[in-house]
Amino acid sequence: MAHIIVLGNEKGGSGKSTTSMHLFAALARCGHQVGVIDLDLRQKSFFRYLENREAFINRTGTKLPMPVRHVLEYSTFDSVAAAQAEEEARFSVALNRLDETCSYILIDCPGSHTRYAQMAHAAADTLITPMNDSLIDFDLLARLNPETGKVLGPSVYAEMVWKARQLRATAGLKPVDWVVLRNRIATLNARNKRRVGSALTELSKRIGFRVIPGFGERVVFREMFLSGLTLLDLKDTGDISLNISNLAARQEVREVVKSLNLPDVSIKF
């Protein structure tokens, strides 16, 4: 049975597609066949990244791993019930087909609430929520008292995850491992950084997630999109220099993968 990893956060620009791409590359380098689904059916940032990778391979002849892609579409039924039933069937077919050949299925969710995103969260064995290190991003997880900084209660996205957990429990599935990936952490010990950190620590105990350091604010992550490359491809392509900053970024990828505690994954990159 394939292990399902879902990248979810109801906010754009948090690093979901970049994280998805590097997770795929890491799993592939560990010897796993990876199936991928991009649920952002409008922008398709993750699949655009993969299309750029495919074009790079064809253009240069470089041998790089590619995942098995499954494309989903929204239902065109006018009836809400009929549309939901059709999308549930399509999602189930997608998981079953990828499960036949893949040991991991990676699902990148849009920065908005959709039926497909709900289904993905309920199916997740590992849920990764990338967030920028800001109070704006934190607001999607919980509401804060502006004077004390104390958590008042879970917000919209956290409530959606809670409902997904209930669906998993009803189906007799094991609890999801929810990981909040804290991206773009400031190097300086700023007040905002401390407030976000303490709020995440408090909230993690209340609603049950782990917090791990993510990726820093690095130009290289943006530069690699057009060629479809990841930091784990640097040795194979020679397309991006192995400077100190890029080596540090690659180490961040290693630490993220290690912290996720994924089954049958030993760091080989």
- For the chain, the structural domain boundaries read 9-260
CATH class of 9-260: alpha beta
Strand ranges in 51-176 using DSSP code E only, listed in sequence order? 68-69, 104-108, 126-132, 142-144, 151-154
- Give, in order, the Cα–Cα distances in Å from 89 to each of 1, 47, 82: 19, 22, 11
Tell whether the model's pLDDT for residue 197 goes beyond 60.
Answer: yes
Mean of the per-residue pLDDT values of the chain: 89
Percentage of the residues of the chain whose pLDDT score is greater than 70 = 95
Query: Using 50, 70 and 90 to split pLDDT, how confident is the model at 67?
Result: very high
What does the pLDDT average to over 127-153? 85
d(CA 231, CA 228) in angstroms, rounded, equals 10
Q: Which of 27, 20, 29, 37 is nearest to 228 (CA)?
A: 20
- By the 8 A CB rule, do 36 and 108 touch? yes
Give the CA angle between residues 138, 139, 140 to the nearest 5°. 90
Query: Using 50, 70 and 90 to split pLDDT, how confident is the model at 185?
Result: low
- By the 8 A CB rule, do 230 and 18 touch? no
d(CA 146, CA 134) in angstroms, rounded, equals 14
d(CA 231, CA 219) in angstroms, rounded, equals 12
pLDDT of 205-250, one tens digit each? 888 899 998 887 777 778 888 999 998 888 777 655 667 777 888 8
pLDDT at 76: 93
Q: Residue 251 CA to chain centroid, in angstroms?
A: 18
